[in-house]
Amino acid sequence: MDISGLKRRGLMYVLSSPSGAGKTTITRALLEKNADKMIISISATTRQQRASEVDGQDYYFSDIPEFNKMVEEGDMLEHAKVFDNYYGTPRAPVEKALSEGKDVIFDIDWQGTQQLREMARDDLVTVFILPPSARELENRLRNRSQNTLETDAQIRGRMSKSNDEMTHYSEYDYVLINQDIDKTITQAQMILDAERLKRRRLIGLSDFVRGVKEGR
Ligand code: 5GP
């Protein structure tokens, strides 16, 4: 019997962290390692597009009326206000991927994670990434701002928001301290591999066991 074809339900893999903890790098690495089995949920946002960002790839950039319309029509799985801007997860691509047995990775904040937990606890795996120290977090934010032309006030805003965000680590299933990026990526993959083996996600298991019993 071919066990690689065992039918399973996709899972929703949420990565949250204060900005600057390494979440984007980890997300990209997981997507690369799991290319045929995982998609990223591309959020909609009312935030201004940064020079390095591509519409439809990093985010769907929209204006406030367009964003509100999606919320009102029930097209968002969750939505929240983060740093004065609105962010939300379009529903349709997520539902399609899960039903095809693919996993979906989300880069969303604690508010969005709480909303997903209320509606989809069984499909959800949540991971919080912490920076190794305050100094390292500040360094990473300052380095990044050189690329994004953020002002000092914006960086201070992100530092204080990071501290707020960090208080929510205890609501997550797993917590990773990102001291060494390669090690953290390995750990994030280990969590994914173990969660994929959860019995309730292996919907093809009863057919498989029947097959083994019948001598196939
Ligand atoms: P940034 O503006 O730096 O791209 O993202 C700011 C914050 O918004 C990050 O913490 C990110 O996780 C969060 N975020 C991005 N997309 C979404 C979303 O669709 N929903 C929620 N709740 N948060 C999001």
Burial of 37 (0-12, 13-18, 19+ CB in 10 A): middle
Whose alpha carbon is nearest atom 6 of ligand 1? 82
Q: pLDDT band at 148, cuts 50/70/90?
A: low
Give mean pLDDT, residues 188-200: 95
Domain boundaries, the chain: 7-41+101-213
**Is 70 exceeded by the pLDDT of residue 1?**
no
On whether the CB atoms of residues 132 and 178 are closer than 8 A, the answer is yes
Q: What is the chain's mean pLDDT, rounded?
A: 91
Query: Class of 7-41+101-213 per CATH?
Result: alpha beta
Which of helix, strand or coil describes residue 87? strand
How far apart, in whole angstroms, are the C-alpha atoms of residue 203 and residue 156? 47
pTM score, whole prediction: 0.90
Tokens of 142: 């300052």
Give pLDDT tens digits for 92-112.
Answer: 999 999 988 899 999 999 999
Q: Is the model's pLDDT at 212 over the cut of 90?
A: yes
DSSP calls for 2-31: -GGG------EEEEE--TTSSHHHHHHHHH
First vs last Cα of the chain: how many Å apart? 6
pLDDT tens column, 23-81: 999 999 999 999 999 999 999 999 999 998 999 999 999 999 999 999 999 999 999 99
Task: Give distance in angstroms: CA of 190 to centre of ligand 1.
Answer: 24
Q: Where are the alpha helices (DSSP H) in 59-133?
A: 64-72, 91-99, 110-120
Residue list, ligand 1 pocket, CB within 6 Å: 19, 43, 47, 78, 80, 82, 87-89, 107-109, 111-112
Describe the crossing of helices 134-148 and 152-166 by its angle, rounded to 10 degrees: 140
Residue type, 5: G
Distance in Å, CA 109 to ligand 1 centroid:
6
